[in-house]
Amino acid sequence: MKTRFSISALLLSSLILSGCGSGGTSVSEESFVAGDGVVTFVSQENRSLAPEINGVSLTGKNISVENGKTTVINIWASWCSPCRAEAPSLQALSDKYPKSQFIGILTRDSKNSALAFSRRFKIQYPTIADDSILLGFRNSLPVTSIPTTIILDKNKKVAARISGAITIASLSELIEKIDNESAQ
């Protein structure tokens, strides 16, 4: 009995450790397209209405885009290295811009992994797990990489996109530019 337990423990340990031994690469990480931080800005007259963005957050609250607010939508997954890298900056910016709304959209991930990620990085803004929302951006600024951050103007129109990890400077500039626009 003791030998079976030891062999089982050894096998389990080797499986766990072998999952970490490839430099952090997993099948999931290999199957996504990494963005390079390119910023796309859409002039006010050329903006399209964003898809309906609403649902139940990972913590069970009903979430939707609020009227009259600049809204930052971040598409992410816990297994995505650039998502982990940008998470502290996104939380810091949501604190810096309390009049703007921040919403995460979880893609291709489990709720438990996402909740652990949110706890680890102390993410306070809500996240919705609904990939169908992403399809709604195909006629404006499609989501072509993970992470992607889309900024909506106060009229719920798609104003900008950052493909890949954000920087504090790039997202701050977009939030301020869009927030200071006059409503149309």
* Claim: this prediction has a pTM higher than 0.75: yes
Per-chain mean pLDDT for the chain: 84
Q: What is the pLDDT of residue 15?
A: 30
Q: What is the pLDDT of residue 139?
A: 87
CA distance 68 to 113: 32
Which domains does the chain possess? 24-179 (3.40.30.10)
Q: Which of 165, 181, 171, 175 shows the shortest CA–CA distance to 80?
A: 165
**pLDDT tens digit sequence for 36-88:** 788 999 999 999 999 999 999 999 999 999 999 999 999 999 999 999 999 99
Mean pLDDT of 152-159: 97
The CA distances from residue 169 to 97, 134, 164, in Å, are: 13, 25, 14
